[in-house]
Amino acid sequence: MKVIGYTRCSTEEQAVDGVSLETQLGRIEAWCELADAELVEVIEDGGVSGTRPLADRPGGARVASLLEARKPDVDAVVVARLDRLGRDASEALSCLRKFANGSVGLVSIADRIDLSTPQGRAMAQVTFVFAELERSLIAQRTSDALCELRSRGKAYSPTPFGFERDGDSLALHASEQKALARMRRLRAKGKSYRAIAQSLNRSGTPAKKGGAWFASSVRSTLRTADKVGRPKEAAA
């Protein structure tokens, strides 16, 4: 089996034992010897963050091109650890899908993932299903928790427009509450979200983090404010 080794480390990781490019290469070479695989090329991305998309990295672009090739000249890409492909969960999952469905396999030594065989690809597909399920459950739990905090007038991040933090609770923000009241009046008169945003921008009313208003931000601001429970009154 002909394979390509891929190594990556960020600037901060270069001096860390077990993550350096040299250590990763050593593990890949040892695996190739045990698996009787021919290491035909080693691609390095030194000083490159794992949050950067694979195709946007100097070396990663070569790996990404293999995934798109109809007749690649190698059988698999070997990495010391899966996080060398990407630190971002969605990016790593996307790469795994491409490897599982493409012509090039993937071997992650530390994670014991082998997508170079039909059995390994089938097991990976099952893993993807449960990974997506867990991500969905986490998102749902987070959403439920935020809804509960809002309904009780408790502080959460980010603090919604019209309110400010007062310890663990939300308190009314006087000037932003005036802006909210204005939005509601304009909305009651039949004004569109876009028209309200333009009105706020003309009057110099800043958004929560400064900057301009847009139709989408006006809509989300009003909807969120209506879901907040009874917070404390703003201090005089």
**Cα–Cα distance list, 125 to 93, 99, 121, 122, 223 (Å):** 11, 11, 6, 5, 39
pLDDT of 149 strictly over 80: no
Contact 4, 44 (CB under 8 A): no
pLDDT of 132 strictly over 80: no
Task: Note the pLDDT of residue 97.
Answer: 77
Both structure tokens of 76: 């698999």
174-193: average pLDDT: 92
Q: Element (H or E) spanning 151, and its range?
A: helix 118-151
Task: Note the pLDDT of residue 159.
Answer: 79
pTM (predicted TM-score): 0.52
**Cα–Cα distance list, 113 to 10, 24, 81 (Å):** 23, 16, 9
DSSP for 186-201, written as a single string:
HHHTT--HHHHHHHHH
pLDDT bucket at 144, cuts 50 / 70 / 90: low
* Residues that are catalytic: 10
Contact 4, 42 (CB under 8 A): yes
pLDDT of 54 strictly over 80: yes
Q: Element (H or E) spanning 217, and its range?
A: helix 215-227
Task: Note the pLDDT of residue 45.
Answer: 92
Give me the sign of the Cα torsion angle 200, 206, 208, 211. positive
CATH numbers and ranges of domains, the chain: 2-118 (3.40.50.1390), 152-227 (no CATH)
In the chain, the percentage of residues whose pLDDT exceeds 70 is 75
Whose tokens are 């921008």? That residue is 201
CA distance linking residue 96 with residue 108, whole number of Å = 11
Comparison of pLDDT for 151 and 33, the residue scoring more: 33
Comparison of pLDDT for 117 and 223, the residue scoring more: 223
Out of 15-19, 64-68, 134-138, 222-226, pick the least confident.
134-138
